[in-house]
Each structure stands twice: as structure tokens, then as C-alpha cells.
Structure 1
Amino acid sequence: MSYRRTAGAYACVTLLVASLTFLLWMLGFSFDLVNIALIYLLPVLLSAVYAGKGPSLYAAALSVLAFDVFFVPPVLSVTVEDLRYLISFVIFLAVAGLTASLADRLKQQLQYAKRREAQTALLLALSKEMGQLTEIPSLLASLSAQIARHVECETAFYLVHEGRGLERVVQAPGFSRWEVTEKEAVLAEWVFTHRTTAGRGAETLPEASGLFLPISSEDSIFGVMAVNLKGKKLAEDARPLLEALAGLAANTMARIRLSEEAKLAQLTAESEKLRNAILDSVSHELRTPLATITGSVTALIEGERIFSSSDRLELLSTVEEGARRMNRLVSNLLGMVQLESGMLQLRQSWCDIEDIVGVVQHQVKELQRNRMLHIRLQPDLGWLRGDQGLLELVLVNILSNSFKYSHDYSLVTVDVRLEQGSMNIRIADEGIGVDKSDQERIFDKFYRAKHSQNVPGTGLGLAICKGIIDLHGGSIKAETNDQQGLTVTVRLPVHDRCTAVPLVP
């Protein structure tokens, strides 16, 4: 308690005893002396509860003096007629002192309970906050801020770096600026090696300027947390708080490392899966068009005099079809690699959706064969902001799937219209369709629906479509038709200048 607060407490006690004495004096001797003595216990109790033990004992002494002078015969004198009053004064002081001690102890216990409750709430809030952190620098910044706020100390951290051992963390703005000496760095190394708290307030090296705590869990140690006490004594309940924060930091670091290892394992698995898909595509998907091209070219070379002009044209058409199929496959593989690596960048310009549909219709003409393609375009669709080449790839992949999984002489419909501020492109077929449980999963990499296992494919086409549409800020979904087949809907945002003359950025 500061000097100003202490002086104020004693002044309040003096004023309280004086006011009570004046009130009792004005009432005269209508109260029995025993009752007056009991009333004088009130300032003692109040001062014990609100001011502490010292002011309470002062209130007891001042109450005895006021009781003696103003109410014990002879009045207005410190002397007493009956010496038995002296025994009463001693008993009053003893009861007042005991009461003050009990009240002060209860007050301290209450304050301790409140501090523990605050610490528990702090640890709970920190555990929730740290549960959302995914980077160690953010964790250290949060710890430094909390320790500065609740313990009023600066903090330094030592973490393990592969190949370099224990090193002081390079601190970003907002971290502690405590300059740790070489001696304290050696102490941090000792704490890390022995996993034991050392420094000021601990059993080991208590003369150090700071307290060093290991950041460790049951089976791992991640570093050391150093708290600069600046030569002052650590509060009784501050060390358990710091130890709890160090343990919480260790658990968070373990979670972050496990998360990083899981991401690395997932990335490795995805890379292996992509590699296997590429190898499978090279060995199977590319082999078929290559065999077709090789056979047709060989026939043209060796049978130059045998084949008529129409036969040669048919063989060349077969070569062209095989080359287009290889080009689509290679484009999908390269597109997926670019999406996975984050290298796929949009080259946006103002695009005419009618031109895009026309180009796509020409590209899939060879795949159409005996299927019927019906295109419906709403008048005055205007311009669309996007990467024309990638949007063409999206429609080519969707239409390729529609033709691939549809029967001969079935109908495939492309419907393009403006609805609620977006460009909606719906491609519906009368093919084998997919189950409702597969309608979202068909956009996952390498996933193929149960009904399509017998049809050649890599499971990359729709995944690439989703990645491209997401980059454009749109959405794509698949729905089973009421009767037969599947409808894929692509929704692209339309900007305010959709009706303006296209300008390449």
C-alpha cells in the first residue's frame, strides 16, 4: 500500500471514530457502557475489511481512548475510578486485534482467490487464442504482451534451430528490447540442458537479473523463456503463472510443429499422387492417342499408293483427333501443376462470352461425334472480365466430360444467361450422371465417381475447372437431372463495365 493511501486510511479511521464518538455523546448516556464498547468495535471491523491490519489496530487503540475519555467515569479524563475497566480495555484491545487479524487474513485470502481466478481466466483466454495461432512468431508476440501486461516484465525467448543449437529469437517490433548478456545466454543454455527453472527467485543462480524457464512438454523441449525482473522480487503468485504460460507455449509449439509436419506429409502424399497420376496418364492416357497417331502416320507412309484421297483424309482426321486429345491431357496436367504450386496467374481482359462459346464449340467438335449439341445464348450478354484462355479450358473440360459419359444421339445443352448480377453457364447432358454423394467430390483432385471407373480419365478435369473458377471469384456445382444425366453450373461475377468496350489491362 502506498504512503498516500496509508495516510488516507488512517485519516478515515480517525474521522470515523470521531464521528461515532460525537454521535454517542449527543445521545447522552442512554446506552449502557457495555453496549457503547461493542459499538466501538464497528470502526475496527470496517477498517480491517477495507484498510488492513494496521489501520484496524489504530482504530482499536483510538476507540479505547475515546471510550475512556468520554464515557468511563470520570468523564473527560484518561483516568478511571474502577481499575476493572483496565482489564476491560485490555480485553477490548485483544478482541479488536484478533478480529482485525482474522478480517485481514480473510481479505488476503479473498484477494488471492481473485488473483487466481484472474490467472485462470487469463490462461483460458490464452489457450483459446493460442489454439488459433499457426505461427511461432505470433505465439511469442502474444506471450510477451501478456507477460508485460500481467507481470510487468520484459521477456526474451531462446529457441532451438536445426544445426545451430539454442539461439535468441530475432524479435519483431513490439517484442521485448531486453539486451541479454553472454552470462545470461549461458544460463539459458543450462536451463535448456537440465530442463530446470533457474535465475532470480529460483534455487539455482538466484543472483541473476532474470528468471529463466524451460519451454518443455513431457517428451520435448522447444526452448527457454527468460523474464527480466529488473532486480525486483517476483510476486508470490507470479511464478506459477509464468510456469503455466511456459507450459502453454510448449503445447502450442508442439501443435504447430505437428501441424507443419502433417501439412508436409499431406503435400508429399499429394505430390506422390500427382506423380503417379502423371505416370498413369503417360502410360495409359497418352499411349492411346499416340498409338492412333503412329498407326495412321505409318499407314499413310507405307500405303501411299493404296489409299484414296478420302482414306488419307480420314487418317489425317484421326491424327488430328489424337493430337487434340493429347493436347487436352497435357493442358490438364500442366494446369493442375500450376494450381498446386500457386503459379497459375490470370491474364484478365474483357471477353465476349459468345466468342468463347464459339471457340469451345469448334474445339470439341471432334469429341461430339453422334451427340447433339444445343446452345442457347441470352441476347445482349455483353462482356465478361476474365482470362479467356482459361475460361475456354473450363468449358472444354466440362463439355468433354458430357460427351464422354453420354450415349450416342443423346442431347447436350449449353445455356448462358445473366441472372442476379452474374453470368450463369449451364451444361446439361443425358449421360450416366453421378450419385448425390458424389456431386461435390467430383471436383476433388483424382476423384472419379463409381459409374465412371470403366471410362478412361485422370480425375483432374473438373478439379482444374474449380480452381480456375475460384480464381475468377465464381463458383461451380454439379446437380443430377430429374430424369437422366448431370447439369454443371458455372457462375461468374459480372462487373459494372460488362457492357463496355473490352479493354485489355
Structure 2
Amino acid sequence: MREAGPFELTVTAGEAEPSPMPRAPRPARSHEPLHFVVAVAAVLASTGLCWILGDVLAMADQVMVYLLGVLLVASRLPRVPSVLAAVLSVAALDFFFVPPFFTFAVADLRHGLSFVVMLSVGLIVSTYTVRLREQALAAQQRERRTAALYAMSRQMVIETGVGAIASTALQHVRETVAVECFILLAGRSGQLAPCGGEGTWVVKDERELAAARWTHENGRLSGMGTDTLPGTACLYIPMVGTGGHLGVFGLELRKRGRELSSFDWQTVETFVAQTALALERALLVERTANAQVQMEAEKARSELLSAVTHDVRTPLTGILGAADTLLEHGATLDEATRLRLLRGIHDDAEHLTRLVGDLLDLTRIESGALRVQKSPCPIDEVVDSALDRCAPRLAGREVVRELPAEVLVVPLDAVLFEQVLLNLLENACKYSPEGAPILVRGRAADGALVLEVCDRGRGIPDGELERIFERFYRAEDGERTGGTGLGLTICRAIARAHGGTIRARQRDGGGTCMEVRVPLVAKERGA
């Protein structure tokens, strides 16, 4: 140890069994010197009044004047100064107004009995007056504490986040007890971390952090005013919920400059217990939500794996089969057969490319990476561009284009909105007979652009009009028509990113209409 560097030894008190409820440090009761000065001054004032009115006041009247002074002192000051005023009043009456004057000798025994009665009455009056005042003060304090606790509880019911609840508790403790405070919550690894925006300095101070950890691990008080690590600047109170230790509540007593009174300690203890229950509830809600999110993510992952496995396996099987045929029998196959196999490979590869593209778009949407870059766009140009790109799929069909004569200029991300139209046009081709007409109609209504893509297919049952926008959901003949089941999900996400909506409805005379609405005036998402 002589050769070792500087080190610090900390000794903590241990108990065979931890106390179930921590006890507050016992503050030392003290009386201010001013209280005794006021008590003496009241006696002097009573003596002066009796001296001035000595010719008109009898001894009984003088006793009443002194008792009045004692009563006034007892109504404002603690018990000890009040008792002092009663004793000094008897002594002053004997010294100044009972013969022989200016001595404490008593010539008449009746006067001695009067002094005993006066002293007894003074002590009783002062005692009961002080007790009554203390009870009234305690009642007022309890009323304030109850009101503050009710206000905190009501606000905690409104708040749902852990940080917001911690901030609410700290604010009410500061206002009620007049002490700076902070909360350290234990994470999953057991490490204490500040919560509620206060106490960041504690985790940087090894001594303070050691006291906080000791309190959290042992469930007992530590720090300033206790027998465990009393050299710290704070008092640490364990926060215990129904499920175990949550963390610690710290009070910066050194900065306050005085210890807590018994009433203040009861207030803090009540607030800490209420805060622990509220934080435990919020943590439980948070963990339940996280578990729900994990379950949903696992479910989505399973659905994605199932859908992707099916959609990838089918074209890959076709590609592999056609490639094997070309490799093994390519030299003996006629030109038409080779072209048919190559076309099949091309179509299957195109399907895989579309699947990968949809998956990437879905990933961008769900991760929040989808950013809409709006600019004023003539809607007829966006529609014409989508029709041109989809021309090979629309070959052999009549496409009816109904747009207003006056050009509608709409704040859009032209690339994303064109993708919506492409997906809707491809769906119209998939789910309607060969050669059936397709209607593309646009108009302005109620401050929004309403764009419709209608077909003459089999239509969608009423119970599936909302489900078709779910991921990987397909209509009854979806297997026959192909597709990834992600197109309409992507369309809905893009429409919402523009502050709009998309819905499906039955078309009069048979078929389906897909209706997209976006505002004609630019607005922030979520506004």
C-alpha cells in the first residue's frame, strides 16, 4: 500500500436485512435568536405599559396585560420562546410591581400563589396556542401537498412518455419543496441514466454516481444526511415499483443549504412513490408497444419472406428451365422455339426486376426515406407521359382520356405521381379482358385534383375494396395475372405523401374505378 498511488476508501454501513421502507434523515431542530429577542421585547412592552398605567391598573389587570403579551408571542413564535415569555412575565411582575419593589422577594404568600397561577396559565395558554398554530400550519401544508399531488397525478395521467412524466414530477417537487432534484432511471443493462432533462452532471461525478448506484442496488437511502456516503452533495432515494427497482430520485440538499423538515420529507416521499408508479406504468406501456412493434415486424418479415419466396421461385424456375433447354438442346431447336424460350426468360427476368423495384420502393416508404419534391406540374403532361410509358401494355385497347380543357397545374412530385398512374394502368390491364377500354379521367373538385383510372373488368367485391391496398394482397385471380401485391400499397403511400388519398369503388356498368385525390394547393405533409 505504501508503493501504491493515491486511492480513496469508501466505507458503507451494512445491515443484515434491508429495511423495507427507507427513513428520512432526522433534521436538527433549532430556534433563531430573533425569536428570543422578540419574546424579551414583548415582556418589556408589557412591563412598560403596566408602568405607564400603574396608577389605574390593579395587580389583576397587570397580570392580564402580561398574559396578553404571552398570548401574542405564542401565536407567532415556537414553543420555547413562548415559555420564556411566560417565565419572564412572572419575574417582571414580581420585580417591578409587587412589594418589596425591585427584588424577587415575596412578602405576601398570596402573591406567591398568584405568581404560580399566572405562570401556570401562561404556560398552558402558550402551549395550546402554539399547538393550535402548529396544527393549523400542518393542515395548510397538508392541503397544499394534497393539491400539488393531485395536480401532478392529473398531469401524469395526461402524459404518456417516460421523459414527460419525469419532467412533470421534477417540476412539482421543485415548486412544492423548493429543492433542485433529478431522476436517474435504470436501463435494461442496469446502468443509470438521467431522465427528464436534469441530472446529467451526476453521471460524470464518480462519487455521486457511486451513491446513486448503491441506492438503486440496495433499495435504501444514501448520500447527504445519511450514514451511507454522507460526503456527497445529494440525497438519493430509491424508486421502487411493483416489479422492482426503477432507479433513484436525487435531491441536491447541499445547494439547498438546509436539510428537509419532517413535513418536507413526507411530501418528497409521497411524490417519489407516485412518480415511481407513473414511470412504471409508462415503461410498461412503452415495452408493450415495443413488443407489439417487434411482433408486427416479425409478422411482416414472415409475410415478406413467404411472398418473395413464391414470387422469386416461379420466374427463377422458368428462367432455369428455359436456360437448361437452350443449353442442352439449343442446336436442335428451331428458331421459333428458341425465340419463345428467350422471350420467356426475358419476361421472367422483367418480373424479377419489377419485384426488386417494388421491394426497394416499399423499403424506402417504411423507413421514412421517401421524400416528395413538389413542383407545379401540368397534369395532362404527367398523364401523357404515363400513357406513353405504358403503351406496350395498352396495345389493342381503347384508352379514353378525359381531362379539362383548362390546364390543371398541381403541386406534385412528377416522377412519383407518374409511378402511381403506371401502377393503376397496369392493374387495369391485368384485371380486365383483352381489348377492353380503359378510362383516364381528371377534374378539379373541392380544392383537389381528382384523377380516376377505370376499367371494365370483373370488379372488386365490396369487402375487398380496402384490403387491396394491403401489402402482398391480391384479388381472386391475382395468381393468374401475376404481380407482386405491392403496387397499390406503394400508390397509397405516394398519395399520402402528397397529402392526398386513394380509394377503389365499383364502376357503374361493371368494372373498377381507382380514384386518387391530391390538393391543388401545396401543403406540408401531415398538416
Q: Secondary structure at the match of 1:432?
A: coil
Which residue in the other structure is 2:358 paired with? 332
* Identity level (%): 24
Identify which of 251, 259, 262 aligns with 1:227.
Answer: 251
Which residue in the other structure is 2:312 paired with? 282
Moved more, 457-466 or 382-391: 382-391
User: 2:319, 2:344 within 8 Å by CA — same for their partners in 1?
Assistant: no
1:155 corresponds to 2:182: yes
Identify which of 217, 225, 229 aligns with 1:193.
Answer: 217
Structure 2 segments unaligned to the other structure (5+ residues): 1-29, 47-59, 91-109, 523-527
Separation in structure 1 between the aligned mates of residue 380 and residue 325 of structure 2, nearest angstrom: 35
User: 2:182, 2:196 within 8 Å by CA — same for their partners in 1?
Assistant: no
Which residue in the other structure is 1:259 paired with? 289
Separation in structure 2 between the aligned mates of residue 59 and residue 305 of structure 1, nearest angstrom: 124
Which letter does structure 2 place at the counterpart of 1:304? E
Which residue in the other structure is 1:486 paired with? 512
1:356-398 Cα offsets, whole Å, 9 max, x none, are 2223224444545776532211112243333323212111212
Q: Secondary structure at the match of 2:335?
A: coil
Q: TM-score, normalised by structure 2?
A: 0.66
Which residue in the other structure is 1:472 paired with? 498
**TM-superposed deviation, 1:255:** 3.8
Moved more, 485-494 or 342-351: 342-351
Q: Secondary structure at the match of 2:415?
A: helix
Q: Secondary structure at the match of 1:406?
A: coil
Separation in structure 2 between the aligned mates of residue 480 and residue 364 of structure 1, nearest angstrom: 24
Q: CA 1:491–1:278 in structure 2 vs 1: closer, same or farther (change >3 Å)?
A: same
User: 1:293, 1:323 within 8 Å by CA — same for their partners in 2?
Assistant: no
Which residue in the other structure is 1:116 paired with? 145
Identify which of 191, 194, 204 aligns with 1:166.
Answer: 191
Q: Secondary structure at the match of 1:487?
A: strand
User: 2:239, 2:276 within 8 Å by CA — same for their partners in 1?
Assistant: yes
1:345 corresponds to 2:371: yes
Separation in structure 1 between the aligned mates of residue 239 and residue 333 of structure 2, nearest angstrom: 77
User: 2:74, 2:127 within 8 Å by CA — same for their partners in 1?
Assistant: no
Separation in structure 2 between the aligned mates of residue 406 and residue 6 of structure 1, nearest angstrom: 98
1:432 corresponds to 2:459: yes
Map residues 35-434 of structure 1 onto 2, 5 A cutoff.
93=122, 96-97=125-126, 99-101=128-130, 103-128=132-157, 131-133=159-161, 144-149=170-175, 150-155=177-182, 157=184, 159-160=186-187, 162=189, 166=191, 169=193, 175=199, 177=201, 181-202=205-226, 204-205=228-229, 208-230=232-254, 232-236=258-262, 237-238=264-265, 239-241=268-270, 243-244=272-273, 247-248=276-277, 250-251=279-280, 252-284=282-314, 286=315, 302-304=333-335, 325-368=351-394, 372-407=398-433, 411-430=437-456, 431-434=458-461
**TM-superposed deviation, 1:296:** 12
Q: CA 1:319–1:418 in structure 2 vs 1: closer, same or farther (change >3 Å)?
A: farther
Q: CA 1:86–1:235 in structure 2 vs 1: closer, same or farther (change >3 Å)?
A: closer
**TM-superposed deviation, 1:405:** 3.0
Q: Secondary structure at the match of 2:145?
A: helix
Q: CA 1:399–1:296 in structure 2 vs 1: closer, same or farther (change >3 Å)?
A: farther
Map residues 13-28 of structure 1 onto 2, 5 A cutoff.
none
**TM-superposed deviation, 1:354:** 1.8
**TM-superposed deviation, 1:493:** 2.6
Q: Secondary structure at the match of 2:401?
A: strand
Separation in structure 2 between the aligned mates of residue 453 and residue 87 of structure 1, nearest angstrom: 110
Q: CA 1:244–1:371 in structure 2 vs 1: closer, same or farther (change >3 Å)?
A: farther
Map residues 423-462 of structure 1 onto 2, 5 A cutoff.
423-430=449-456, 431-436=458-463, 438-448=464-474, 456-462=482-488
User: 1:154, 1:177 within 8 Å by CA — same for their partners in 2?
Assistant: no
Q: CA 1:183–1:348 in structure 2 vs 1: closer, same or farther (change >3 Å)?
A: closer
Q: How many residues align?
A: 466
Q: CA 1:457–1:54 in structure 2 vs 1: closer, same or farther (change >3 Å)?
A: farther
Separation in structure 2 between the aligned mates of residue 486 and residue 393 of structure 1, nearest angstrom: 19
Separation in structure 1 between the aligned mates of residue 73 and residue 342 of structure 2, nearest angstrom: 107
**TM-superposed deviation, 1:327:** 4.6
Separation in structure 1 between the aligned mates of residue 69 and residue 503 of structure 2, nearest angstrom: 78
Separation in structure 2 between the aligned mates of residue 359 and residue 272 of structure 1, nearest angstrom: 37
Which letter does structure 2 place at the counterpart of 1:115? R
Separation in structure 1 between the aligned mates of residue 291 and residue 453 of structure 2, nearest angstrom: 41
Q: Secondary structure at the match of 1:445?
A: coil
Separation in structure 2 between the aligned mates of residue 394 and residue 101 of structure 1, nearest angstrom: 82
User: 1:417, 1:424 within 8 Å by CA — same for their partners in 2?
Assistant: yes
**TM-superposed deviation, 1:106:** 3.4
User: 1:47, 1:56 within 8 Å by CA — same for their partners in 2?
Assistant: yes
User: 2:241, 2:276 within 8 Å by CA — same for their partners in 1?
Assistant: yes
**TM-superposed deviation, 1:240:** 0.9
After superposition, the CA RMSD in angstroms is 5.6
User: 2:166, 2:275 within 8 Å by CA — same for their partners in 1?
Assistant: no
User: 1:157, 1:223 within 8 Å by CA — same for their partners in 2?
Assistant: yes
Q: CA 1:388–1:209 in structure 2 vs 1: closer, same or farther (change >3 Å)?
A: closer
Separation in structure 2 between the aligned mates of residue 442 and residue 305 of structure 1, nearest angstrom: 39
Separation in structure 1 between the aligned mates of residue 367 and residue 335 of structure 2, nearest angstrom: 47
Structure 1 segments unaligned to the other structure (5+ residues): 18-32, 65-81, 497-505
Q: CA 1:419–1:349 in structure 2 vs 1: closer, same or farther (change >3 Å)?
A: same
**TM-superposed deviation, 1:282:** 0.8
Q: CA 1:49–1:291 in structure 2 vs 1: closer, same or farther (change >3 Å)?
A: farther
**TM-superposed deviation, 1:117:** 0.7
Which letter does structure 2 place at the counterpart of 1:198? S
User: 1:422, 1:492 within 8 Å by CA — same for their partners in 2?
Assistant: yes
Separation in structure 1 between the aligned mates of residue 427 and residue 297 of structure 2, nearest angstrom: 28
Q: CA 1:301–1:477 in structure 2 vs 1: closer, same or farther (change >3 Å)?
A: farther
Separation in structure 2 between the aligned mates of residue 328 and residue 353 of structure 1, nearest angstrom: 25
User: 1:214, 1:246 within 8 Å by CA — same for their partners in 2?
Assistant: no
Which letter does structure 2 place at the counterpart of 1:157? L
1:398-434 Cα offsets, whole Å, 9 max, x none, are 2222333334565542211223332221223343223
Moved more, 362-371 or 347-356: 362-371
**TM-superposed deviation, 1:292:** 11
Q: CA 1:318–1:155 in structure 2 vs 1: closer, same or farther (change >3 Å)?
A: closer
1:141-178 Cα offsets, whole Å, 9 max, x none, are 5555444444412436364474xx635x4799865646
